[in-house]
Every structure is written in structure tokens, then in C-alpha cells.
Amino acid sequence: MSAQAPFEAGEHRCQGSSRGLKLLPSPVFSALHLNFGGYMKISLQAFSRAAVRVMIVFVASTVAVRLCGTAQAQSFKYDPFVPTNSRQTTPGFINARGDAVGFYFDAHFVQHGFFRAAGGAIFPVDPPGSAGTVATGIDDQGNICGYYEDKASNYHSFVRRTGGTYVSFDATSDSTLTIALGTNSTGNIVGLFFDPEGVEHGLLRTPNGVITAFQMPGSLGTVGVAISDSGLITGDYTDSHEMEHGFLRGSGGAFRSFDPPGSIQTLPTAINLPGQIVGSYLDANRVQHGFLREFDGTIVSIDPPGSVMTLVSSISPDGVVVGYYQTSDSFAQNGFLRTVDGTIMSFNPSGSTETNVVGINGAHQVIGSENSHDGIFRGFLAQYIP
């Protein structure tokens, strides 16, 4: 792989409005639908892992971008990566150590999970009997969670322990689908499952394997999307009018519903230790915005200047937000980072026409994918340097 040019410099006005057309899918969501033909909403945060030695080639470069409203230069150290034989690479989650997980399609368009160590080594993650794998999280001990489709087209979740052993699990003995969507640093996993009647429930699995089902009172369906290190869970639920709302579930099991002002559909994506929640929502005009909800309930919209659709994907422990957005200029897709003071920085790997930024950790390492090779997506790790 040849060396990559630095990120394109981005300079924007800090005032602006966004107009959206539809909910912007995450890269994982799109790939899963293509491969599995499965449930759509679940993949706002779905990714995969793997277990075999893979060669990775990457080049580091330092890049400068310009912050909105300030002349202060910021930089990233940028490392692109691709698992061996990957045709499409989609990172999905990064832990505090800098280990990342994701999924990729091989030359035969078979979907595998992958694990990328902080040092750069990559290996695939495929539970025994898997016909397609998605990794959704990795805890700080290196245990990986995710889900897979078996040869009979049934969906199960799994944990890959640091020693390489796999534990497959289903929420109940009669559940028809079990999807692990995320983990916190200590290995508590959240997700969803379908019961025999097709009703969607949230699930919480502790590190010792105890599974608890939960449901927003009065809802038609509930999805657990992310869990903080303090045990707070966020996700979305469908009400009796088939409208989707966000929720916060306390460690004791109490629920609180929330929506950004004017939202007709709210889809949280991540929560940090202080209880800040991020995600995306649609307004009455079907315009898609990002949002940040503080623990006290205050909600602010997030719209990078020039955006027509925004998806906020992750938040660091100290409140730095990342995501991606589309512009009206041929619907080009750009990554962005929002600092704690609200400043928004847009960035793209050089030549990328579609940048997806999907994760950030406490060290401000950013993970994502980019399309600069005629439709061939590569992963990248970018170290944000204030």
C-alpha cells in the first residue's frame, strides 16, 4: 500500500443549518443488510471481529485541519489499514487501549469480523459455524462481543475471550434472533432479541453470562444500543403509535424517555461514563440531525456547517463527539469531530469521497473508514492532537 497524503484541510463557518433527506445509515448497517438481509435498525452500531493472523500495511502521516471560528491549527496522525484479502473494510469500535474491531468482505464477498491490536497487528474473528460475522465491541481486557449468522440462517451472539475461545449465546432458549450491539470496558453487553412472537426486547449480559431482558414500559419493542461503565444503558423503543424514542435506563432498571425538541424519530448511538448520550434524529421535515444529551437532560443539536444529513456515532469519556455527514455537493460524505466547547472540525483522508467516523476513545484516537479507491473502503485510525 502506498503512502497516503494528509487529510484535506477544512475551514468552515461556525454558523449554518443542515437539511436532511433520510436517516443516514452507518457503514456497518449497509454492509450487514447487503450480506445478511436482516434487521435494519440494529446496525447503527454493528461491527465484527476475527481470529487468524492477517497482514496489515499502514503508513502514518500528520495532517492539519482548521477549526471553525479559530485560526488555531490542529493535527491528526493518520494510519490506514486493510485486513489481508479484504475487499471492503469497516471498523466499528475502539477501546481505551486502542484495540479496534470491525468487519470486512473477502474476495468471495464472505463477511468476517476482525480485530486490530493497538500495535497494528490484525486477525480475523469468526465463531465456529459462522456464515457471516459482525463484531460490535471490545472491552478493556480484549474480550470481543458480536453476532453471527449460522449455516441455517439463524442469528446468535458471541463473546471471544482473550485466549481465543468463543462462547455463543442466545437471550432465551426460544429466542429467534439475538444481537449483541455493544459492551462497556468491563464486559457488560447490551443488545436485543426477538421472542417467538416476534416482539423485540432489550438484553443485558453480565461478564459471567447472566442475561436480563428489559422492556420500556408500554413499548412495542426495545433495543439496548450502548452501556456506560457505570451501568447506564441507552437505546430506542417504539411506542404504541410506532414512533421511535430514545431512552436512558438506570443501573437499577428505571427508564427515562427522551427526544430532542422537534424529533419524530430518535436513535441514540453511544453513552459515556458521565452519562452523556449522542445519536441522531429526524425532525418533522425529515431532516436528519445529530444530538448530544447531557446527563441533566439538556439536549443540543449537532449539525456541521454545510451538512444536509448528520449521524453522530460516538463520544469520548470527556465529551468529544465524532460522526459523519453529507453535504449538498453531490452528497459527499465527510467525517467530523466536535470538541467539548462545541467547535466542529471536518476532515477526510485525502481523496476520500465517503468518510465514515464511527468511534473515539479517551485518548482521542478516532476510528473509521474511507473510500478513496473507486468504491473500495479501507479502515483508518486517526490520532487527534489538539
Average pLDDT over residues 227-236: 98
pLDDT digit string, tens, across residues 40-85: 233 323 322 122 212 222 223 333 333 333 323 457 778 899 999 9
Distance CA 146, CA 372 (A): 28
Which pLDDT tens digit goes with each residue over 155-202? 999 999 999 999 999 999 999 899 999 999 999 999 999 999 999 999
CB-CB contact of 270 with 226 (8 Å):
yes
Domain total in the chain:
1
Model confidence at 38: pLDDT above 80? no
Range of the domain at 165: 27-385
**18 located within any domain:** no
d(CA 188, CA 204): 7
Which has more confidence, 374 or 47?
374
Per-residue model confidence (pLDDT) at position 69: 33
Q: What percent of the chain has pLDDT over 90?
A: 72
The total of other beta-carbon atoms located within 10 Å of residue 212's CB is 11
Between CA 367 and CA 361 the distance in angstroms is 9
- Show the cell assigned to 244: 421511535
pLDDT of residue 74: 56
The CATH number of the domain holding residue 281 is 2.130.10.10
pLDDT per residue as tens digits for the range 253-263? 999 999 999 99
pLDDT, tens digit (0-9, with 9 covering 90-100), for 321-352: 999 999 886 668 999 999 999 999 998 888 88
Identify whether 7 is part of a domain: no
- Using 50, 70 and 90 to split pLDDT, how confident is the model at 34? very low
Sign of dihedral through CA atoms 44, 203, 39, 151?
positive
Element (DSSP H or E) covering residue 17: none
Is residue 216 situated within a structural domain? yes
**CA torsion sign, 12 to 16 to 20 to 26?**
positive
Give the pLDDT score at 256: 98
Has residue 1 been placed in a domain?
Answer: no
Let me know if residue 372 belongs to a domain.
yes
Q: Is residue 363 part of a domain?
A: yes
Starting from the edge strand earliest in sequence, which strands make up the sheet with 111-116, in order?
88-94, 100-105, 111-116, 122-125
Judge whether 282 and 288 are in contact, CB under 8 Å.
yes
Report yes or no on 122 lying in a domain. yes
Q: Which amino acid is at 331?
A: F
Residue in the structure block whose three cell numbers are 476475527 = 50
Cα distance between residue 246 and residue 269, in whole Å: 10
Residue 12: per-residue pLDDT: 27
